[in-house]
Amino acid sequence: MPSITSSTALPATPCYLNGEFTALKDAKISVMDRGFIFGDGVYEVVPVYAGQAFRFAQHMARLDRSLAELRIPNPLSLDQWREVTHKLVNDYALSQHTSPEKIDQLIYIQITRGVALRDHVMPPDLTPTVFAMTNTMKPPTPAQRMHGVACVTADDFRWEKAHIKSTSLLGAVFARQISADVDAVETVMFRDGMLSEAAACNVWVVKNGKVLGPPKDHLVLEGIRYGLIEDICREAGIGFELRRISRAEVFGADELLLSSATKEVLAITSLDGQPIGSGQPGPICARLHAAYQRAKQGLTS
Ligand SMILES: Cc1ncc(COP(=O)(O)O)c(C=O)c1O
């Protein structure tokens, strides 16, 4: 998403707000929106390659799961979401004087409970606020792909409903800042000594040729890459297991990986200043990344 420092810096790129397409700089919501007052909302981030949304149905299914947790009905049907995002992707490319096939984008969708006088209790029957925008995707740099990235660790101090893709992200903001303060790329978190995830990525351990990830429970956000990595491993004959992973196993990994919509699959080669495995991206990372690129070309959505 664009780095925005003041309202004058808001770009005129297209966005969608409550049924209307408008310029991002002109989009306005009420100060009484419960998203603003309580962080009472959910979001999604969908990668778009050459104009085509990747794993769109899975992203929309996760949006439904997050909304269900908040007891907010999905204001749009799957077809309506397809229409909105398709128009945004095309209009955004036009605003950049290019065609959608020539750029990769990242769609951001946010739904809040809507506008009401301030009261913690969830008011029934509010009209949700629906917002979507898109931007040029910023993938990892060639140097990050080649050498992997440095990360740091922290205790997972976020709430215990990490499975909801909620806009209440102060825990994630604090977590990410720990790594930003030391120029590291992500913060790998542990709850009660067991791996959970990073501030905005899932984390994978590779040991003896097998890919290990934390269980899909309330302590992690089930990234859309969870299913994708499992599929790739099954097709490639790479072992795959979800289970609790200790801090010692993370530091003793042969390879350590981040996954997210923007990072795809990216090697962590240093953690808290210690090298992981050989200190360079390993063979399983290379295989997963190559298979990921093939999946993008096939665009399983
Ligand atoms: C906390 C957290 N975990 C994991 C992920 C990765 O999810 P996905 O693969 O769907 O991008 C994200 C993505 O933003 C995240 O915020």
225 lines ligand 1 (CB under 6 A): yes
* 29 and 106 together in one domain: yes
- The strand pairing partners of 187, in sequence order, are 152
**pLDDT mean over 22-47:** 98
224 lines ligand 1 (CB under 6 A): yes
- The per-residue pLDDT for 299 is 59
Q: What is the pLDDT of residues 217-262, one digit of tens each?
A: 999 999 999 999 999 999 999 999 999 999 999 999 999 999 999 9
Pick from 201, 228, 231 the residue to mutate for probing ligand 1's pocket: most ligand atoms within 8 Å of its CB: 201
Q: Which atom of ligand 1 is nearest to the CA of 62?
A: 10
Is-contact 14 91, C-beta < 8 A? Answer: yes
CA angle centred on 16, ends 10 and 20, rounded to 5°: 115
Q: Which of 136, 163, 192 is the last residue of a domain?
A: 136
Hey, whose CA ends up nearest to atom 7 of ligand 1?
A: 223
- The per-residue pLDDT for 8 is 59
* 132 and 147 together in one domain: no
> Could you give the CA distance from residue 184 to residue 74 in angstroms, rounded to a whole number?
37
The one-letter amino acid code at 250 reads: V
Catalytic residue among 87, 102, 161, 165: 165
* 75 and 171 together in one domain: no
Q: What is the pLDDT of residues 92-132, one digit of tens each?
A: 999 999 999 999 999 999 999 999 999 999 999 999 999 99
Please report which confidence band the pLDDT of residue 88 belongs to, taking 50, 70 and 90 as the band edges. Answer: very high
164 lines ligand 1 (CB under 6 A): no
* 247 and 179 together in one domain: yes
* 113 and 188 together in one domain: no
CA angle centred on 299, ends 96 and 48, rounded to 5°: 25
196 lines ligand 1 (CB under 6 A): no
| CB within 8 Å of 180: residues ≥ 6 apart | none
- The per-residue pLDDT for 283 is 98
Q: Where are any strands of DSSP class E within the chain?
A: 14-17, 20-23, 41-49, 52-53, 105-112, 129-136, 149-155, 186-191, 194-198, 202-207, 210-213, 239-242, 255-260, 264-271, 274-275
Query: Is 165 designated active site?
Result: yes
User: Does 86 fall in a domain?
Assistant: yes
Domain carrying residue 184: 142-298
User: Does 1 fall in a domain?
Assistant: no
**pLDDT mean over 130-144:** 98
What CATH number is given to the structural domain containing 177? Answer: 3.20.10.10
* 37 and 90 together in one domain: yes
Q: Which H, E and C letters describe 161-187, residue by residue?
A: CCCCCECCCHHHHHHHHHHHCCCCCEE
pTM: 0.95
- The per-residue pLDDT for 7 is 47
- The per-residue pLDDT for 298 is 84
User: Does 269 fall in a domain?
Assistant: yes
User: Does 2 fall in a domain?
Assistant: no
Element (H, E) at 290: helix 283-298
User: Does 200 fall in a domain?
Assistant: yes
Please report which confidence band the pLDDT of residue 264 belongs to, taking 50, 70 and 90 as the band edges. Answer: very high
Q: Which of 136, 159, 192 is the last residue of a domain?
A: 136
Choose among 180, 224, 172, 167: nearest CA to 196.
172
Mean pLDDT taken over the chain: 96
What CATH number is given to the structural domain containing 93? Answer: 3.30.470.10
Quote the number of domains for the chain.
Answer: 2
Hey, whose CA ends up nearest to atom 3 of ligand 1?
A: 201
How far, in Å, from the CA of 106 to the mean position of ligand 1? 13
* 161 and 66 together in one domain: no
pLDDT at 301 over 90: no
* 157 and 244 together in one domain: yes
Quick one: how far is CA 68 from the chain centroid? 19
Q: Which of 106, 136, 166 is the last residue of a domain?
A: 136
Please report which confidence band the pLDDT of residue 300 belongs to, taking 50, 70 and 90 as the band edges. Answer: very low
